[in-house]
Structure 1
């Protein structure tokens, strides 16, 4: 692990308890994640828990309280939770035994009861209350009539289903709980007549529906029409509207979805016929939509209780040639985990926001047991994630987990009773259940099942920070991360993925290269990622939240092939994320035109620049101290140049104009207009301009800006660019250099040569360190530039490290922040 070197030794004002730091071996990120997200704190007593063991005891006691033999199950649950062998959903760790009224359920789905204005606003009211209790939500707009159909009010025709998405999004963004906004998934069936507007809603306006994920529910009929190149019928029917139909070219609509996904990772695709066919609950609680992250198809008012077996903790002889799995330990964890989650269902019944949610939970007792740390588990077994050996191993692992979970549910049903809506004949007729071993099916027929569904693969988020492992079934995302020091210096430093140090400790290989089984998400073929998901899916009765990370230069056709491959393999859904999607639909019109305008300005400025750039005509420095200083007015015509400088957040275009007295004003453009980075860049440029017009020497402005650091460093013409302000200082320095006294063509040649040339147009020889720095930072820079291009901050709001897109969610590996 990298050490922290700071200039100051003082601790931060909100110093972490030493007990927490000691448990996490001094890892400030893990300790802060525990203290700020999960440790019990009350208004009266302040922070009560300072060590995870106190949390494990609190949670184990709460869950054991619903059992007859509370002492026995306290011990079993404590074993399960200790050292994060099992990671319950965050709501459970936070809420179990907490005196506040908060739900222990992360996921809900609330349907719109009918096609009416009253029902729409009833949904908003219901969702707001759910958010206030800490739950996320899902909604499907397929029940709402399409645009242009008649309504019985002054409007005469409906504004359409899509028009209400902003209302749902705003409701979600407005209501927060424990410092977090609500989370929402809005879905639409592909057959709804408003589907084209749904698909393009975020492409047309980047600020639209910003507090929700969106997904299209695609059926097999549509996919078959895509394959055959046929038309597809959109339709909507209700008693009031009648039947509305329209036909579209299936391939054209599919291409629209894929192009949008290529550009912005949305909409996600849900293969809804696969979801319905594999759902065990269709006969008693048919699923209508999904939770915000998409791994849990749910019925209206349905909820799911989540927990994850940390499979990476069950390896004997880690990283050794004879490394093996503690199968007995995993079986015990799975079986105990099923009972634990079933007890969460019981404990949580009075803690739902609505009685309808409690009733549905009581009737179905749906749970979602999954795994986390799979990427680390494979590495500890010396198995490369993207190998046939990995596929074979995961197939065997998940088959065993499925069988243990279902067998345990029958045992609990025998001891207590089956879930109230259970029907043996109907349940055993479901395709997923039919694939179970015969002995388990016999037990289901005799004793029933305690839970309507048992298995899922959810994003683990902050839970994976606590375990220090890969999240869910994702591969290793990166081998190094940036974190901010907790000391007052607040400097960033690099830290290895914990697995790297564990490998070095276990093998004594302190400095050597890592073996090939340390493969990261960016190195894995996207089709193999889908193949891995397809391997998992037959053993998961709910769904899987997983993101296929794609390089920036991947084409639309490949993205389409990835989605179609997922459908062919029987996946229930898939999300792709292409890094640095600057060329996609999301920004193709507005952003590409912006780039063209900026480059056109550069040419025009070069053609207009007739006079040398100097500081000789600048106002006297004494003007700066004059309290009556007034910025000199702007002339109607100015001359200047535009430079393109690469930053860690994308290309920065800097136009520097001058008048007869010297440098006069600065314009700067990066990312999407009105976005986070663009707004502060414009502010800095305006202040520079104000300073120049008020007589502040250029050298003083440069001195103030140069060297300002940010999380992402880039290279431009052989120079390190530490931040956007540092890039502006660089632009001013280059403007002052003798280089700009040369001919127009020479200057154009100098700055058109691109990375790899020096400031004078000469080839730059990079040191090994520089080359390594560029390699290490390239993937992060792509992600930062992607977020900037979409008008969003690339920095974590909690710690200012870089955000990444993983498991279908924007998250931070620096502090564990997650938007899901």
Structure 2
């Protein structure tokens, strides 16, 4: 640990730092979050300071906020009029006002990781290059950035279309799709603290392979490690509206293209709409709007030409630029929320907006320190220079862009809760007008702060007022605040671009608010807990297949609980009410008809377009629509987005996409399943072949024995490896034999051939089960015997809501054992989380988020 990093912990040596266990941190953090287990789990697993051995050095988020405040204060001391450490800390405390997101939260003051603070990067070529060398260069750069925790985006418009001549043994190009798969596979290979990296692939609609790109993910089996978006220009949109043809070409920007073809714009548009309706991809980027509004593109000839976006689309970037993210919690500026006297504290908001930009600029300095550490590590690595040269040059390019532009990503969260707390209905004209005023104020104050910093610290090195004077965003600033504009012309600006609205999935879990500019997804979620039906004051709502009794109750959105308390309700009593009575209470609240599926979708797009006028980067948002929504409505949403000035649109139709891969519903009959197509289970032979699979149940080693009929799972037995199953730890295959006890009961024995060739028998595979394990194993074996396809068995097991933690981890082990028998590893679950197995996945802000465990594809 170097001197800077030791200072950030407030300790002299690493040995002075206290070390906590996971249970200690979870328990303390649960108290910190007022009993919120999900928020505590998210923080401990994702953001608590820990070393590579899993030792935890922070007990609660308060320790993290102190860590970040110390480091940012250290940077402040380099400049005039520094903020005090206490002032910075109180802005962070309790996630109330300013929340650095993702990379900054994890990496600031972290002595255990040599990783970037940037949330997202874009890479690419300085000029046209689609040679194998160029393609492999991008592949390696993508991996190098992902291993440092960054999400990556890059564009494929430079790759020659399928069938083009090439000067190698292939003779003709394969087109873009094989390289989409290559980059996707690379993403899936890179681990980032227990998760895979995030990737955005884009292509211009002008590219002759655009249609193949648009179709690449439709069946759900390809390009599974990347988001894909098509860059649509105004000419194409006009051709769609007017029913005119559109010309594709390669190279896409060449006045003398080598390839040229005329297409039916409406036909391709319908394909985009259909695919988005069916599978939620591709996303759409209105590229001319992005370039027209982009302030960095005023410096395109100096290397700031925007070419793609980050994985969730909120930051369009030039090659080798990056950005860090921070969110302002809008709910905290509502005084007396949910009352008749509620009002928005504009003065506090303006002050904090300026401080947020200042802190973001400090984080740019901290990022430069991190980049220097990365470069130093590369230099000192013992590898040959030939191996590490590309990574070395990559980080020097990123460092140069960071210095030249000092780009920041100031955003917000809790917009939906802010509006509800003020009594506005999300999506109404009044709510949209108020939101626009908030974002206009944020833009003005952030830019004001950047100008002040330019006076104190210097402008970003390539600032040139003349280059920017005709930029539409700069013009809007000038129209509403001419004094600010004149000060900017005189002193410059500290940062090339400042604002975004990024996904805040895990951030909003910790702020306990709605996410980004999204409405509340649901006001209440139904949960079950196991009960003893003989206990007093217990209501039994559900009895499962094995006779266990469950009580159903409601889990509420946090700020709805605040509303209940303000209105005099007891939240614990309301949670036990039947749905009809709960619905009557919800109707009285400002959240009624304001959930993601309630609001007018076109109105939401108009709101996005109106707010976009005051966000210099972009907005990550998802338009959630019901399953029965027509393709015509999706087309209307997209067209409206272009017309009102959105920079991008993502539509998610309920049920159109799952969190894991989904196979088509219509399948050719699997020969394996031919014997299982009737509803009667095939008679069990006395002897079944069997596989032995090892798994973990908490910290215990367990073994699963899977009996096979015609190569397909027919039954399953499990037990602890240290009990009578211990000998099976060294066995991979054998036979399950059905016998009878002296009392006439069924008994299942296991035989295998040992290393000396002797047949060994283990009697009574079921004898290590307690009652619950045995009952669930019988249930699983029953559906296997009756021919339920394996992927659906996996789905069913994942859907078991088990109150006992050991049962849950046992369940996860069984799932892993069964998944090996699915040919392509896919599981047909409409909204099942691949991390925790709960049916709790939602799409927000272009991201996949789990409402049960906090898993996020983007953060």
Q: Into which bin does the TM-score normalised by the smaller protein fall? A: 0.7 to 0.9
* 1:473 lines up with 2:517 in the alignment: yes
Q: Superposition pairs for residues 523-534 of structure 1, below 5 Å?
A: 523-534=598-609
**CA deviation string 1:27-61 (max 9, x = no partner):** 11111222221111235893211122211111111
Pairwise CA distance, 1:326: 1.2
Name the residue aligned to 1:96.
108
Residue in 2 aligned with 1:288?
Answer: 307
**Alignment-derived partner of residue 399 in structure 1:** 440
Q: Does residue 52 of the first structure (1) align with residue 71 of the second (2)?
A: no
Per the normalisation by structure 1, the TM-score is 0.75
Cα 1:47–1:446 change in 2 (3 A) is same
Find 1:151's aligned residue among 151, 166, 171: 166
From 266, 276, 281, the equivalent of 1:251 is 266
Partners of 2:681 and 2:73 in 1: how far apart?
78
Distance (whole Å) between structure 2 residues aligned to residue 160 and residue 560 of structure 1:
28
Give secondary structure in 2 for the equivalent of 1:202: coil
Matched position secondary structure for 1:121:
helix
Q: Secondary structure at the match of 1:224?
A: helix
- For the Cα contact (< 8 Å) 1:189–1:216, is it kept in 2? yes
- Could you tell me whether the CA contact under 8 Å between 2:688 and 2:709 is conserved in 1? no
- Residue matched to 2:46: 37
Task: Give how far 1:414 is off.
Answer: 1.1
Contact 1:369 1:456 in 2 (8 A): yes
SS of equivalent to 1:591:
coil
| Residue matched to 2:819 | none
Aligned partner of 2:6 in structure 1 is none
2:580 corresponds to = none
Matched, 1:211 2:248: no
8 Å CA contact 1:484, 1:814 repeated in 2: no
Residue 801 of structure 2: aligned partner: none
Bigger shift: residues 538-547 or 39-48: 39-48
Alignment partners' CA distance in 2, 1:31 and 1:163: 42
CA distance in 2, matches of 1:336, 1:270: 31
| Residue 428 of structure 1, CA deviation | 2.4
Unaligned 5+ runs, structure 2: 1-20, 375-394, 532-547, 575-583, 690-706, 718-733, 749-765, 789-824
Match of 1:554 among 629, 638, 641: 629
SS in 1 for 2:519: coil
Whole-angstrom CA distance in 1 between matches of 2:830 and 2:146: 24
Counterpart position of 1:80:
91
Q: For residue 506 of structure 1, report the CA deviation from its aligned partner.
A: 1.8
- The corresponding residue for 1:462 is 506
Cα deviation, residue 501, structure 1: 1.2
| Match in the other structure for 1:196 | 211
Q: Evaluate the alpha carbon distance shift between residue 221 and residue 97 of structure 1 in structure 2; reply closer, same or farther with a 3 A threshold.
A: same
1:74 Cα offset (Å): 2.1
Partner of 1:591: 665
Query: Alignment partner of 2:632: what SS?
Result: helix
Residue 190 and residue 484 in structure 1: after superposition, are their counterparts in 2 closer, same or farther (change >3 A)?
A: farther
Are the aligned partners of 1:271 and 1:573 in contact in 2 as well (CA < 8 Å)? yes
Residue 580 (str. 1) matches residue 648 (str. 2): no
Of the candidates 327, 337, 340, which is equivalent to residue 346 of structure 2? 327
> Are the equivalent residues in 2 in contact too, given 1:310–1:373 (CA < 8 A)?
yes
Distance (Å, rounded) in 2 between the aligned partners of 1:807 and 1:324: 27
Worse-matched range after superposition: 51-60 or 459-468: 51-60
Counterpart CA distance in 2 for 1:256 and 1:794 is: 27
Please point out which of 316, 334, 337 is paired with 1:318: 337
Cα distance in 1 for partners of 2:528, 2:110 equals: 31
1:581: how far off? 2.9
User: Does 1:507 find its partner at 2:571?
Assistant: no
C-alpha distance 55-587 of structure 1, shift in aligned 2 (>3 A):
closer
Mapped to 2, the partners of 1:112 and 1:184 lie a distance apart of 17
Contact 2:152 2:310 in 1 (8 A): yes
Q: Cα–Cα, structure 1 residues 339 and 111, in superposed 2: closer, same or farther, change >3 Å?
A: same
Which residue in the other structure is 2:840 paired with? 802
Shift, 1:595, TM fit: 10
Provide the C-alpha distance between the structure 2 equivalents of 1:314 and 1:593, rounded to a whole number of angstroms. 54
In the TM superposition, residue 798 of structure 1 has moved relative to its aligned partner by 4.0
Query: 1:658-737 alignment to 2 at 5 Å?
Result: 683=713
8 Å contact kept, 1:186–1:215: yes
Match of 2:491? Answer: 447
Local SS of the residue matching 1:819: coil
The answer on 1:412 being equivalent to 2:426 is no
Kept in 2: contact 1:334–1:401 (CA 8 A)? yes
Distance 1:447 1:61 in 2: 29
Q: Report the CA distance between 1:692 and its aligned residue.
A: 12
**How many Å separate the matches in 1 of 2:671 and 2:275?**
24
Cα 1:500–1:260, aligned 2, differ >3 Å: closer, same or farther? same
Residues 402, 71 of structure 1: CA spacing in aligned structure 2 closer, same or farther, 3 A cutoff? closer
Instruction: Specify whether residues 101 and 196 from structure 1 end up closer, same or farther in structure 2 by C-alpha distance, changes over 3 A only.
Output: same
The DSSP-based 3-state class of the residue aligned with 2:157 is helix
Question: Which residue matches 2:360?
Answer: 341
CA-to-aligned-CA distance 1:171-198 (integer Å, 9 cap, x gap):
1111112222111000000000111110
Task: Give 1:223's aligned residue.
Answer: 237
- Note closer, same or farther for the CA distance 1:486–1:50 as it changes in structure 2 (3 Å cut): farther
Instruction: Call closer, same or farther: CA 1:54–1:196 in 2, change over 3 Å.
Output: same
Partner of 1:300: 319
**Residues 76, 336 of structure 1: 8 Å contact kept:** no
Number of equivalent positions:
676
Alpha-carbon separation, structure 1, partners of 2:530 and 2:400: 46
- The residue aligned with 2:687 is 630
- 8 Å contact 2:279–2:657 — kept in the other structure? no
Answer yes or no: is the 8 Å Cα contact 1:481–1:814 preserved in 2: no
Q: Which residue of 1 aligns with 2:464?
A: 423
CA shift digits 1:298-335 (9 cap, x unpaired) = 00001111111000111111100120011122112211
- Provide closer, same or farther for how the CA distance between residues 242 and 333 of structure 1 changes in structure 2, counting only shifts above 3 A: same
Task: Indicate the residue corresponding to 1:261 in structure 2.
Answer: 276
- Cα deviation per residue 1:659-715 (whole Å; 9 max; x = unaligned)? xxxxx9999xxxxxxxxxxx9xx746799xx999968999999x999x999xxxxxx
CA distance in 2, matches of 1:582, 1:471: 21
**Which residue of 557, 574, 586 maps to 1:497?**
557
- 2: CA distance between counterparts of 1:504 and 1:240? 64
Asked whether the 8 Å contact 1:280–1:541 carries over to 2, the reply is yes
Displacement of 1:495 in angstroms is 2.1
CA distance in 2 between counterparts of 1:734 and 1:281 reads 59
Match of 1:235 in 2: 249
Q: 2:688·2:737 contact (CA, 8 Å) conserved in 1?
A: yes
Query: Structure 1 regions of 5+ residues with no counterpart?
Result: 1-11, 607-612, 624-628, 633-663, 668-678, 710-721, 736-786
- Quick one: distance in 2 between partners of 1:614 and 1:25? 50
1:401: Cα distance to partner?
0.9
Contact 1:236 1:243 in 2 (8 A): yes
Residue aligning to 1:142: 157
The 3-state SS of whatever aligns with 2:646 is: coil
**Structure-1 separation of matches of 2:311 and 2:169:** 35
The Cα shift of 1:484 comes to 9.6
The 1-side partners of 2:105 and 2:290 are apart by: 29
Q: CA deviation at 1:577?
A: 0.4
Counterparts of 1:486 and 1:47 in 2: how far apart (Å)?
33
Cα deviation, residue 795, structure 1: 2.8
Kept in 1: contact 2:831–2:839 (CA 8 A): no
Q: Any conservation in 1 of the 2:115–2:148 contact (CA below 8 Å)?
A: yes
| 1:270 matches 2:285 | yes
TM superposition shift of 1:563: 0.5
Distance 2:530 2:144 in 1: 36
The alpha-carbon deviation at position 16 of structure 1 amounts to 3.7
Task: Point out the more displaced range, 427-436 or 15-24.
Answer: 15-24
